[in-house]
Amino acid sequence: MIAADPVLLGPSVNWFALSPLLILLGAAVVLLVVGALMPRRPPHVYALFTVAAGLATMIVCFFLWDNITDGGASTLVGGALRFDVFTMFITITIAASLVLVALSTDDYLRREGLEGPEVYALYLLASIGGVIMGSANDLIVLFLGLEILSISFYVMSASHRKRIESQESGIKYFILGGFSSAFFLYGIAMVYGTAGSTNFSKIVASFNAIVPAQRHDAFILAGVALLIVGLGFKVAAVPFHFWTPDVYQGAPTPVTSFMGSVGKVAAFGAMLRVLIYALPHWSDDYRPIVWTLAVLTVVVGSTMAVVQTNVKRMLAFSSVSHAGFILIGVEAAAHRAGQPDLGDGIPSALLYMLLYSVLVVGSFAVVTMVSRTGDNATDLSSFRGLGKSHPFLAFGMTVLLLAQAGVPLTSGFVAKFGVLQAAVEEHSYAIAIIGMVASVIAAFLYLRIMVSMWITEPETGDADREAVRVPLWTGVAVALAVGFTLLVGFYPGWLIDAAKAAVITK
Amino acid sequence: MTSFPILTLLVLVPAAGALAVAAFSTRRPEWTKLLALLSSVFTGALSVWLVVAFDKSNADFQFVSKHLWIKPWGISWHLGVDGISLFLLLLTGVLFPIVIAGTDPHQNHRRYLAWMLLLEAGLMGSFVSLDLFLFFVFFEIVLVPMYFLIAGWGYEGRVYAATKFFLFTMTGSAFMLVGVIATAFLAKGRGPLTFDLIELAKADFATSTGRWLFFAFAVAFAVKVPIFPLHTWLPDAHTQAPTGGSVILAGVMLKLGTYGLLRFGVFLFPEAARWSRSLWLTLAVIGIIYGAIAATMQKDLKRLVAYSSVAHLGFIVLGIFAMTSQSMTGGVMQNINHGVSTGALFLLVGMIYDRRHTRQIADLKGLQKVAPIFAGVFMVVMLSSIGVPGLNGFIGEYLVLIGSFLTARWWTVVAATGVILAALYLLWAYQRVFHGEPDDANRTFPELKLREAAVLLPLVGVIVFTGVYPKPMLDRIEPSVKRLIEHVTEKTNYVEPQPVAVAP
C-alpha cells in the first residue's frame, strides 16, 4: 500500500487565514534568534517590536474578519483549527492585551535590571498558545495550545531572577499546572474512547448518530468532568483556584497582568469551544456543574478578596470573582448549546473577557509602578498618598477599579450587564442575583484601595519611601486602558454588535 | 412643545461644569468656585425656566427627547418630565447653587466642587430618565461622587460611613439591576428588546412574576428612602458627611427612593404595589414612629435631623401606598418640602458646627440671647419641619394624612401621632440649644453673617410662600398623580374611593 502511494498529500493550507499565528510565531522566533546572536539592543526595541507584532496581528484580524463575514466560516489545516469570527474576536483580544502588557513591561525590566528579549518572546509564544486554544477544532490541537501557553507561563512566572517569590510562584504554578494538564489529557482520552475522534466536528457527528444509552454513559461523563477540571484550573474557577493568589503575587507584575488577561481569555475560549461547540449533547449534564462553579467562584472570589491586605492578592481574588462572572455567561451559553440560535451567552462571555482584559492590564500596570524597585511594595499601604503625589495615576486607577466594581458609564458595567442579561434571558435568575450580590461584596475591596489612595492620612516614614515613578510607556498603557474603559462605558454599541457577530455562523 | 433639548442640558451643563472645574488650574481657587457657581446657577435657571414653561394642563411627559443610545440592547437616551418629577428638578436646581455658595470644604476646593457638580448631573439625570437602563445608570452613578464627598470631606468616622452608604445602596441596586433586565425580557414577548418605561408600562406581567419584579425594584428604593429596617446607613452618612453633602443627601438624594417607588414601582407593577401595600404602610408607619423616637434620644444635633428624615420620609411612603390622589399629591409635595426644610436645617447645623466645632446638644446653650436672628431663622425652618400650618411642611403632611385616611385608616391614625412626636423632638432640641443663659463657651457665638443670610433667605422664602400659597405646585403635580392612579385603575380593579361629604 505504501509503495503504491508514494506521494504524501498534506492538507491544503490557507496561509493568509493563518497569518495571525504566523506573525506572532515569526516575531517570537526573530526575537529569540536576534536576542541570542546579536549584541544587546537598547531594551525598548524589543518592547516596540512586540507591540508592532501585536498591532499587525490585530490589523490582519480585521481583514480576516471581513473575509469571514463575506465568505463564511471554515476550518483550516485539515480541520484542526476553526476559522470564524469567534476566533478573530479571541485573537484580537489576546493581541490587544499583548500590546498593552508589552508597553508596561519595558520600563519594569529596566527598573529591575532584567533587560532582554526573553520575556517578550515568551509573551508572543503564550499568545500563540492562547490563539490556538481559542480557535482549536480538535481536542489534541487544543491541548497543544494549552501546553504552549502554560509552559510559557511557568517560565515567565519565574523570570524575575532576583526575587525568591518569583521562583516560588513558578514552581508552584508548574506543579499544579502539570496536574491539571494531566486531568485534561485524561479527559481527552475518555472522550476519544467514546466518540472515536478528537475532532470537534466528528465528535458532534458521532453523538448525533449514537447517543450512549443512559447508565452506559459513565465513560463520557467522566471525560467531560475531567475536561472541566482541567479548564477550571486554567480559568481559576473555585475550587480549582488555590494557585491563583500565590502565583499572581509572586510573578513579576507585568507577567501577572498577562496571566490575568491572555491566560484567562485563552482558557475561556477553550472552555466555550469544548463545552458549547464540541459537547453540546452533554449540556444538560455539565450545565449544573458550570452553575455550581460559577456561584462558588463569584462568592468565594469576592469574599476572599475582601480579607486580603496585599493589592496583588486582592486583584488575584478579584480576578477569580470576575472569572465567576464569565462562567455565568458560559452557563447561559450552555442553555443554547447545539441549537441553531446560540443566544447571548457566548457574546456576553466574549465581551466580558475583552473588557476585563483591558481593565486587568491597566490595573496591574499601575501596580507595577507602585511596587517600586524590587517589585515588593504591593501592600495596601504602598498606595497610601498616591492621590496627593500622583493625582492622574490615582484617577486612572480609580476609574479602573470603579469599572471592576461595575459602576455605570464604565466598561465594567457593560460587561456585567451583558452577562446578567444573557443569564436572565435563559431564566437563570438565581445565578444573576447571586452574582450581583457577590459583586457588591467585591466593591468593598475596590473601595479599600481607593480609600488608601485618596483618603488615608500619610504616616511618618512615608516621605522616606522611594517615590513612585511614572515612565512614559507604562503611563501610555494605563492611559489607553482608562480611555478604552470610559469610551466603552459611554458607547458600547459597536462592541456588543461585534461580540454578537461571533456566534453567527453562515 | 419645543425642540430645545432643555432636559439634556440639565444633565450636561453640570457635567460639563464638573469637567471644567476638574481641569481648572489649582492656583486660583476663587475662580474655580465662580465657575462651579456659574454652571450650577445656570442649571438652576434652566430648571426655573422649565417650571415656567411647563404646561400644567398636560398630565403626560413633556419636553421629551429621545435618541437611540445602545442599539443592540434597545436602550435610548429618553428623557421627559411630568408633575411628579418637575419640582424635584427645581429643588435640585435650587439647592446646588445654595450649597456651592454657602458651604466651604476644609480642603481641596477644586475636587470638592467637581464632585458636587457631577452629583448634580447624576441627580438631574435620574429624575428625567424615562428609560430603565438610563435611570439605573444615573441612579448608580450618583453613588460615586457622594461616596467621595463623604469620605474625603466628612468628619471623624467618614470612611466607615461612606463605605456603609455605598455598600447598602449598591446591594439594593444589585437586585434592581436584575429586576430591570428581567422586566425588559419578560415584557419583550416577540417584539424587540426595549428598556423604555412607557413601552414597558403597557406590558402585563403574570401576577407572581410582577410581584417578584416589583420587590426587586422596591428593595433598591427602600434602601434609598430609607424605609425601616434598611435605614441604618442614613444616620451615619448624614452625620459624617460635610454640610454640603448632608444637604444634598437629605434634600435630594433620598427622594430618588420615593420618586423611584412612584415612577417605576407603582407605575410598572400596580398589581404588586396594591397587593403588598399593607407591608409598605406598616413599614412606613414604623419608620415615622421609630424615626421620631430615635430623634428624641439623640445627643448629636445632626444625628437628630438625620433621624427626623427617616420619620418624614415615612409620611411620603405612606402617601404613595395609600394610593389616593390626595395622599400621593401630598407625598410628592412632601418630597419637595422635606428637601427644602431639612436642607435648610442641615445648613444651620453646619453653621453651628463651623462656629463651635461641636454638634453635641449638651455643649450648646442659650444661643437665642447672643444670636437672635440666627435663632429666628432656625425657628422658622424648624417649625416648617414640624409641619406647622402656614409653612410648607404642613401642606404635604396634611394631604398625606387626609388622603390616606380613606384607604389606610388605622395606619394613618398611628402616623398622625408622628406629627406630635416631631414637635416634641424638635422643640425640645430647640429649647436645649437656644433657650437659657449662654455659658462661657457660647457667649461669643457670632450672629448670622450676610453670606449665610443670603444663602438661607431663598429657602425661608420658599418655606413661607409654599406654606401660604401651595396652589401653583398642586396644580402641576395633581394631573400627573391622577394619571398614575388611572393607570393603576386600568391595570387592576382598584377604584379610588372618593371622600363623601357629610351633611352638616
CB contact under 8 A, B167 and A493: no
CB contact under 8 A, A402 and B72: no
Residues of A in contact with B70 (CB under 8 A): 492-493, 496
Query: How far A347 CA lies from chain B's nearest CA (Å)?
Result: 12
For chain B, say whether A72 makes contact (Cβ under 8 Å).
no
Query: How far B93 CA lies from chain A's nearest CA (Å)?
Result: 23
| Rounded distance between C-alpha atoms, residue A134 and residue A93, angstroms | 11
Instruction: State the amino acid at position B130 in one-letter form.
Output: L
Residue A176 has pLDDT above 70, yes or no: yes
CA trace torsion A271, A272, A275, A278 (10° rounding): -110
Please name the residue that has the C-alpha cell 412607557.
Answer: B198
Look up residue B443 and give its three cell numbers. 457667649
Query: How far A91 CA lies from chain B's nearest CA (Å)?
Result: 23
DSSP character for A407? Answer: -
Among B141, B177, B240, pick the best mutation site for testing chain A contact (most A Cβ within 10 A): B177
For chain B, say whether A394 makes contact (Cβ under 8 Å).
no
Q: Which residues pair with A138 in a beta bridge?
A: A199
Residues A319-351, buried b or exposed e (16+ Cβ, 10 A)? bbbbbbbbbbbbbbbbbbbbeeebbbbbbbbbb
- Nearest CB among A433, A443, A500 relative to B72 is that of A500
Residues A155-175, buried b or exposed e (16+ Cβ, 10 A)? bbbbbbeebebbbbbbebbbe
Residue B2 has pLDDT above 80, yes or no: no
| Rounded distance between C-alpha atoms, residue A226 and residue A184, angstroms | 6
For chain B, say whether A497 makes contact (Cβ under 8 Å).
yes
Q: What separation in angstroms does the CA of A34 have from each of A371, B26, B131, B256?
A: 31, 50, 58, 63
Most confidently modeled of A32-41, A200-209, A252-261, B411-420? A252-261
Residue B59 confidence class, pLDDT cut points 50, 70, 90: confident
Residue A332 confidence class, pLDDT cut points 50, 70, 90: very high
Closest CA to B37 of B119, B92, B96: B96
| Rounded distance between C-alpha atoms, residue A423 and residue A440, angstroms | 18
Q: What are phi and psi of A491, to 5 degrees?
A: -125, 80
CB contact under 8 A, A443 and B170: yes
CB contact under 8 A, A493 and B137: no
Residue B301 has pLDDT above 60, yes or no: yes
For CA atoms B202, B204, B207, B213, give the dihedral sign: negative
For chain A, say whether B187 makes contact (Cβ under 8 Å).
no
DSSP string across B330-398: HHHHHHHHHHHHHHHHHHHHHHHHHHHS--BGGG---HHHH-HHHHHHHHHHHHHHHT-TTSHHHHHHH
For chain B, say whether A421 makes contact (Cβ under 8 Å).
yes
Cβ atoms < 10 Å from Cβ of B127: 27
The per-residue pLDDT for B1 is 45
Query: How far A246 CA lies from chain B's nearest CA (Å)?
Result: 28
CB contact under 8 A, B151 and A454: yes
Query: Is residue A453 within 8 Å of B211, Cβ to Cβ?
Result: no
DSSP string across B257-302: HHHHIIIIIIHH-HHHHHHTHHHHHHHHHHHHHHHHHHHHH-SBHH
Please name the residue that has the C-alpha cell 481583514.
Answer: A63
The per-residue pLDDT for B280 is 92
Query: Is residue A340 within 8 Å of A270, Cβ to Cβ?
Result: no
Residue B323 confidence class, pLDDT cut points 50, 70, 90: confident
Put simply, the chain B residues between 234 and 293 with a CB less than 8 A from any chain A CB are: none
- pLDDT above 70 covers a percentage of chain A that reads 97
- Nearest CB among A417, A454, A500 relative to B152 is that of A454
Most confidently modeled of A171-185, B96-110, B149-163, B401-415? A171-185
| Rounded distance between C-alpha atoms, residue A276 and residue A199, angstroms | 14
Among B11, B144, B160, B188, pick the best mutation site for testing chain A contact (most A Cβ within 10 A): B144
Residue A330 has pLDDT above 90, yes or no: yes
CB contact under 8 A, A407 and B174: no
The least confident of A284-298, B243-257, B439-453 is B439-453
CB contact under 8 A, A402 and B144: yes
pTM: 0.91
CB contact under 8 A, A429 and B71: no
Residues of B in contact with A447 (CB under 8 A): 147, 163, 166-167
Half-sphere exposure of A129 (CA within 13 A, CB side): 23
Helix, strand or coil for residue A170?
Answer: helix
Tell me what the mean pLDDT of segment A372-387 comes to. Answer: 84
Residues of B in contact with A397 (CB under 8 A): none
Question: What's chain B's average pLDDT?
Answer: 87
Q: Which residues pair with A81 in a beta bridge?
A: A76, A136
| Rounded distance between C-alpha atoms, residue B485 and residue B491, angstroms | 10
For chain A, say whether B131 makes contact (Cβ under 8 Å).
no
Provide the ipTM: 0.88
Query: Is residue B339 within 8 Å of B320, Cβ to Cβ?
Result: no
Tell me what the mean pLDDT of segment A282-305 comes to. Answer: 92
Query: How far A506 CA lies from chain B's nearest CA (Å)?
Result: 20
CA B86 to chain centre: 13
Residue A294 has pLDDT above 80, yes or no: yes
Tell me what the mean pLDDT of segment B346-359 comes to. Answer: 87
Closest CA to A443 of A484, A413, A480: A413
Residue B463 has pLDDT above 70, yes or no: yes
Query: Is residue A262 within 8 Å of A105, Cβ to Cβ?
Result: no
